[in-house]
Amino acid sequence: MGKVKTNLHRSLRKNKRIAARKSVRKIPKGVIHVQASFNNTIVTVTDLRGQVIAWSSAGTCGFKGPQKGTPFAAQTITEDAIRRVQGMHRAKVRVKGPGLGRDAALRVIGRSGIRLTNIRDLTFLPHNGCRPPKKRRV
């Protein structure tokens, strides 16, 4: 007869996997993506090929509701994402979105000791915008 796996074995295996994922990873060069909307800020650290090494968002750091879009939340998020990736000396930064967390995230990255090779703004700007709604008839 086969072995019976209990829920305890599954949960232990799952916890080991999560612990392995959250460990500190070392890469010398990388790309830091900052996506700042009005409601949230997400910071992702990738290697040069685009594979995600670490990420953090306002929700994972414990912020809820309107606090997620604040510059303080962005500062905390960026510190958390950079802390998980030690040994990074150089990084490209790509900023996307119109949110308040853009500048705060850049300030934290600059203070962290990582040398920024370039900063790129990838925010989409509509050339003509959406079609306006039809006129109201009263």
Tell whether 96 is covered by a domain.
yes
Whichever domain contains 112, its CATH number is 3.30.420.80
Tell whether 42 is covered by a domain.
yes
Tell whether 17 is covered by a domain.
no
Predicted pLDDT of residue 100: 92
Tell whether 5 is covered by a domain.
no
Tell whether 39 is covered by a domain.
yes
Give exposure, 26-50, as e/b (b: 16+ Cβ within 10 Å): ebeebbbbbbbeeebbbbbbbbeee
Q: How confident is the model at residue 87 (pLDDT cuts 50, 70, 90)?
A: confident
Q: Which domain holds residue 109?
A: 26-121
Predicted pLDDT of residue 15: 59
Per-residue pLDDT of 20-74, as tens digits, reads 555 677 889 999 999 999 999 999 999 999 999 999 999 999 999 999 999 999 9
Tell whether 46 is covered by a domain.
yes
Q: What is the pTM of this model?
A: 0.76
How many domains does one find in the chain?
Answer: 1
User: What are 67's two structure tokens?
Assistant: 């606090």
Q: Across all residues in the chain, what is the average pLDDT?
A: 87
Q: What SS3 state is found at 3?
A: coil
Tell whether 137 is covered by a domain.
no
Q: How confident is the model at residue 86 (pLDDT cuts 50, 70, 90)?
A: confident
**Over residues 83-104, mean pLDDT:** 92
Predicted pLDDT of residue 125: 87
In sequence order, the β-bridge partners of residue 33 are 44, 94
Predicted pLDDT of residue 1: 55
Tell whether 117 is covered by a domain.
yes
